[in-house]
A and B are shown apart, each in its own frame.
Chain A
Amino acid sequence: MNYGVIVIGGGPAGLKAACSAAEKGLKVLIIEREARLGGILKQCVHDGFGVIRFGEKLTGPEYAYRDVSEVKRLGIEYLTGTFVTDIYAKEGGYVVETTSAKGLRSDFSEKIVLATGCRERTPRQVNIHGTRPAGVLTAGACQNFVNLKGLLPGKRVVILGSGDIGLIMARRLTLEGAKVIGVYEAKPSPSGLQRNIRQCLDDFGIPLHLQTTVTDVYGQKRVEAVRVSRVDEAMNPVGEGEIVECDLLVVSVGLIPENELAEKLGLTLDPATKGIAVDQYMMSAEKEGVYAVGNALHVHDLVDYVSEGAALAGEDAARDRKRNPVKVDVSGPAYVVPQYIDVSAIGEKTVFYLRSPREMARAKLMLYADGELVAEKRFRNVKPPEMIRASFKFTAEDSVTLRLEEDV
């Protein structure tokens, strides 16, 4: 079949992009690998989603339900239980080949939205040594077991990494009757939000050990214990460490955008975001008609901003523009999305999403267009785990610069 846009991934990013494109009159197809739409929100049963977009605190499934209802109301076509096996450019668009229980299928679309989400960094990727027993899980896998399958994967739990999913699972496992012995973080400051440390750890008396990591896993069939050690500034373990008995090690050490399909299309990844480089409408700077949204583009900490970016992509897919993407010259931030600005199509507002490389009590963000300072924004309590969103109204002709500095 032929479509105006094919959206790959039926999580919050894909759903919103699909709805925005359909509202602009495009014929849309959503392809989802799992049995139900909603993406990872299905297993995020805790609340805190939607405060910015809807002005209320929703759980993950409730947030997803709003977008899924909209997809149905708009009559958008979607395939579930369907896996993309190949994607390639063909004159005027892209061919997407899929497989499902119904068989093989090939569809053509002028535009593609990659909304494939992200994957978790695994224990092997953070150099934990020892045997490979059962009972070592990423936080998201643990969340899937508990919240979707109703299984409790362990009773004495050690959590490595202070990412938000790990913190949320510390509370969840505790309320399901497990004993969470502690959360261990190699860095000197937590990587999750402070409010999650308060409500998920402090409320339940779960200790957080900073500058401490898991160095070894013990046990043949099942995890029996782990060794935890203090680390120095260079993150190298110091001393003998200590043995902690447990039957589950949950690893919450970060997320990496999933970009296998982008790579198949020959797109290069931004080493800082691990996603493709896009303009302010989330369209690839390298390949016309390919968009990336949500955590496939860069890892967000709030789904509200995932939806915001995805809406821009969906709307943009419905129009043709003559592009003149200019690379944003960046100094200060750890990363900035979009990496390019299409200076021939700057709209009413341009939104930048960025992260600070370090904590700053006061920070100043400066935007230069064609070498001239056009806007300045100030932020308080800037931290690497908390994404900064800055929206500007400006125009430029041949250069855009973004500078983040300590504000003294």
Chain B
Amino acid sequence: MNEIKLTCIVCPNGCELIVGKKEDGSLEVAGNLCPKGVKFAADELERPVRTFTGTAVTVFEDFPVAPVKINREVPREQIPSVARYVNTLTLTKRYAPGDIVEENVLGLGADLVATADMRLEES
């Protein structure tokens, strides 16, 4: 049986996983504190997924860039393309956290979402 060592990146626990691949192809995961570690190991060996967080340029002087994220994980190798794409955008609206900036980015099935409150303070 082959043993592979992985660090789970799902949460800050960062469990050190030991993953064994049985002869029938199924996985045996040890070292995980929760079931998410099992799913992470399976994804990581089959098709690693990641999330993207970054910033997009805006037209607002008090908020030259605004933080954004995608709301669903996408294949890891797509992350650089998502980053390049987000760098082509210019935001012209003042978003609140959770507002969708663009649906289905690059057809990957994830939406680009604002994460900061860009709205002006009422005074």
Contacts and interface: CB of A to CB of B under 8 A. Distances in A.
Contacts, number: 82
Contact of B69 (A47, A51, A147, A302): A47
Nearest to B6: A198
A352 interface: no
Contacts of A60: 67
Contacts of B11: 48, 51, 57
A156 interface: no
B83 A198 contact: no
> Which of B53, B65, B68 counts the most A-chain CB atoms under 10 A from its CB?
B53
A195 B54 contact: no
A172 B57 contact: no
A149 B116 CA distance: 14
A194 B115 contact: no
Contacts of A194: 7, 14, 16
A47 B9 CA distance: 11
A101 to B, nearest CB: 13
B78 to A, nearest CB: 12
Given A51-B12, A59-B69, A150 B57 contact: yes
Interface string A24-68: 000000000001000000100111100110000101111001001
B116 A150 contact: no
A193 B14 contact: yes
A149 B7 CA distance: 33
Contacts of A148: 64-65
B111 to A, nearest CB: 15
Interface residues of B, number: 31
A142 B14 CA distance: 26
Contacts of A302: 12
Contacts of B54: 45, 172, 175-176
B89 to A, nearest CB: 12
A175 B79 contact: yes
Contact of B14 (A42, A146, A195): A195
Interface residues of A, number: 34
A400 to B, nearest CB: 28
Given A45-B54, A195-B12, A175 B80 contact: yes
A45 B67 contact: yes
A60 B97 CA distance: 11
Nearest to A47: B53
Contact of A203 (B6, B50, B68, B97): B50
Contacts of B69: 45, 47, 59
A199 interface: yes
A381 interface: yes
Contacts of B16: 194, 381
B8 interface: yes
B64 A150 contact: yes
Nearest to B14: A195
A146 B55 contact: yes
A10 B52 CA distance: 27
B64 to A, nearest CB: 5
A4 B12 CA distance: 36
B51 A47 contact: yes
B87 interface: yes
B76 interface: yes
Contacts of B116: 42, 61-62, 65
B102 interface: no
B103 interface: no
Contacts of A59: 53, 67, 69, 115
A148 B67 CA distance: 8
Contacts of B87: 176-177
B43 interface: no
Interface string A229-270: 000000000000000000000000000000000000000000
B53 A45 contact: yes
A13 B8 CA distance: 28
Interface in A317-353: none
Contacts of B62: 35
B3 interface: no
29 contacts: A42-B116, A45-B53, A45-B54, A45-B67, A46-B53, A47-B51, A47-B69, A48-B11, A48-B12, A51-B11, A57-B11, A59-B53, A61-B117, A65-B97, A65-B116, A68-B117, A146-B55, A147-B55, A149-B64, A150-B65, A176-B54, A177-B87, A193-B14, A194-B7, A194-B14, A198-B7, A198-B9, A301-B12, A302-B12
